Every structure is written in structure tokens, then in C-alpha cells.
Amino acid sequence: MLTNFSNRDARFAKIYHWIGIAFVCIVSVPLHFLYEWSGELPAAGLFAPINESIWEHLKLVFWPLLLWWGIGYVLFKNSKNLSRYKWFTAAAVSDF
């Protein structure tokens, strides 16, 4: 139940998600070209698409979202009294 969910928390969640959308878009653009810019290093291929397939381009959303949710947890775990289990479960269900 969301018994302790206030308007202030709802506003925080809304702002956090909008900033997250911008973050993912901004990080995805250079990530798209990382493999080519790195001289086709195999390590870069783990994080960036190595060809034009849809499967490879899912990396453009997966890695920035994982980074965004991880940073968000670290920044707000104490001030928002976040549960690690609930935070990452919500991340997995809502974004991945």
C-alpha cells in the first residue's frame, strides 16, 4: 500500500523520471558511436552497439538506464529512506 506517499513524493518521482529520460537520451548519443570511436575495442562492444541490429541498439537504453537507477539509489537512499530491494525491483519492472 502507498500509505506514506505524499504529493511531495509524487512530485519528486515525476521530476526524477523526466530528468532520467533526458539523461538516457544524452548518454545514448555518444554511446551509439563509442565502438567505432574506440577503434572497435571488444570492451567497448559490451556497452555500445557493434552493428545496426535492433538487439545491439537495445544497449543504448539498457546501460544508461542501469546507470541512472544506480546513481539515483546512491544519491537518495538516505534522504528518501529507500529500500534497495524495492528500488531495484521497481527499476526492473518499469524500465527493463
Mean model confidence pLDDT for the chain: 90
Q: Which domain holds residue 17?
A: 7-95
- When pLDDT is cut at 50, 70 and 90, the band that residue 1 belongs to is very low
Instruction: Output the pTM of the full model.
Output: 0.82
Average pLDDT over residues 21-46: 95
Domain assignment present for 2: no
Domain assignment present for 1: no
pLDDT for the residue numbered 6: 79
Domain count, the chain: 1
Cα–Cα separations (whole angstroms), residue 25 to 8, 48, 65, 92: 26, 14, 10, 19
Domain assignment present for 45: yes
Cα–Cα separations (whole angstroms), residue 55 to 2, 3, 17, 25, 78: 36, 40, 24, 18, 36
Q: Comparing 49-53, 58-62, 65-69, 80-84, which segment has the lowest mean pLDDT?
A: 80-84
